[in-house]
Amino acid sequence: MKKFNVALVGVGVVGAEIVKILRERNFPIREMKILATRARTEKIGDHQYEIEPAKIESFQDIDIAFFAGTEGAKGASRQFGWQAVEKGAIVIDNGDDYRLDSRVPLVIPEVNPHHLKEHPGFVSSPNCSTIQLVMALAPLHQRAKIKRVIVSSYQSVSGTGRAAIDELQSQTRAIVEGKEVLREVYPHQIALNLFPEIGSLTDEFPGYYGEEVKTVKETRKILDEPHLAISATCVRVPVIFAHSEAVNVQFEEKLSPREAREILNSSPGIKVIDQPEKSLYPTPVEVARKDDVYVGRIREDSSIPNCLNLWIVGDNIRKGAALNTVQIAEEMIKQGLIS
């Protein structure tokens, strides 16, 4: 198999996970360089890596450039992305700068790999909460066209980065020890608390925060359904890894819970755990560090025709970010789009 020169921009929570996944999956790397804002040595897993300062020249002779990004993070791909493309690299961006750019495919390989053929040298990976939502919606949409979606997400702090993980842990210790609870990352205490605010308020969707707008617009783009009726409420919860979503989906025709389970069970990247009588359904603790998206609590909504409720849980750092980004590169190699 041909091997590739790879660059990774960003070595935060997602960047470090990309490195681990590249090793786990034996990605065909000839040489890899890791780029960030400053030079240093980082230990990732059992290996030490030399980090180089990112500059335009860093992308010379690079075949694939992964931009790690973090939820809400901007700048790296805007600063270097298209210039890396000009130097001959295929850019795969986990950040949100170009997800809704009409030039750039927004791809989940299990859902819309055909969109990769339209790439201009630049591909975006969707937002973490969008990925797990669409992973479950897409196969159902193929069977019984979706009419409307309402999603409430319960999102872990790792999506914000290492500082947020540290804040949750330090606040929890402070509460247990009876000390003052300090906050810097979030507008409210996150330990033993939750709040419906992720991102900034938007003008385009008055009253909606940025994460909710991403969920709406990215889902429409991936499914090629620009007018899909969808509404989202995104909540930050005191969980370290894995996002959860309560989803209400109305279809244009009847789809039974049994049929939905069968469809999802046979869909790549999805596992169904749905035995509520035995208290068996996905939870963040069990799903964290897993690659699949898990679905449970599949049941009819008796208040409206042709409607199901789903409970969806996925690791936001694995499939919701790092893994999906690597899978895009693997799919492009498979399709002969990177040579």
| Residues with a known catalytic role | 128, 243
Amino acid at 329: A
Do the beta carbons of residue 90 and residue 65 sit within 8 Å?
Answer: yes
Helix (H) or strand (E) holding 21: helix 13-24
**Cα atoms in the 13 Å half-sphere on the side-chain side of 44:** 22
CA distances to 136, 241, 243 from 312, in Å: 8, 14, 8
Give the tokens for residue 37: 């804002």
> Residue 238 CB: number of other CB atoms within 10 A?
15
d(CA 259, CA 253): 12
Burial of 10 (0-12, 13-18, 19+ CB in 10 A): buried
CA distances to 45, 63, 213 from 29, in Å: 18, 10, 36
| Phi, psi angles (nearest 5°) of residue 229 | -75, 115
Do the beta carbons of residue 50 and residue 41 sit within 8 Å?
Answer: yes
| Phi, psi angles (nearest 5°) of residue 316 | -70, -20
User: What SS3 state is found at 87?
Assistant: coil
d(CA 71, CA 86): 26
